[in-house]
Amino acid sequence: MLHLVSCIPQNEMVVLAGNMNGHVGSSNVGYDRMHGGFGYGDRNTDGSSISEFADWLNSVICNTLFMKQKSQLVTYAAGPVKSTVDYIIVRQEDKAKVCNVKVININ
């Protein structure tokens, strides 16, 4: 994936989005270049991998850029278990083009 994205010209916007099956958490300690500090829950090992991947791509995890209510951050809920596993990642130079990211609950 890293090779594929690096082959895309810098003048083209790249948006990586989907279920990445990890938790980047609410803290941006150690990941402040790619994590805005407004995530949900605790970071796990897969979340660290997502953050490192974003760092390698010189990208930002858009879900973490905006302060939201918890209900607008949670992308997975089953009973008492709530988490964010769906993320949107763009290159750092395209960060200013992202105006908002939130979860819309359709239940």
pLDDT digits (tens, 9 = 90+) for 31-69: 999 999 999 999 999 999 999 999 999 999 999 999 999
In the numeric block, which tokens belong to residue 72?
Answer: 């607008």
Report d(CA 25, CA 43) in Å as an integer. Answer: 4
Residue in this structure with the two tokens 């990941």, named with its chain if needed: 31
Residue 107 inside a domain? The answer is no
Higher pLDDT, 100 or 106: 100
Q: What is the pLDDT of residues 4-22, one digit of tens each?
A: 888 899 899 999 999 999 9
Domain of 59, in residue numbers: 2-94
Q: How many helices (H) and strands (E) does the chain have?
A: 2, 5
The reported pLDDT for the residue numbered 107 is 60
Please give the sequence-ordered ranges of beta strands (E in DSSP) within the chain, or none if there are none.
Answer: 15-19, 59-61, 76-78, 81-83, 86-91
Residue 106 inside a domain? The answer is no
Residue 32 inside a domain? The answer is yes
Report d(CA 68, CA 14) in Å as an integer. Answer: 24
Residue 101 inside a domain? The answer is no
Instruction: Specify the number of domains making up the chain.
Output: 1
Residue 103 inside a domain? The answer is no
- Please name which of 58, 42, 55, 54 lies closest in space to residue 88, comparing C-alpha atoms: 54
Residue 57 inside a domain? The answer is yes
Element of type H or E holding 96: none
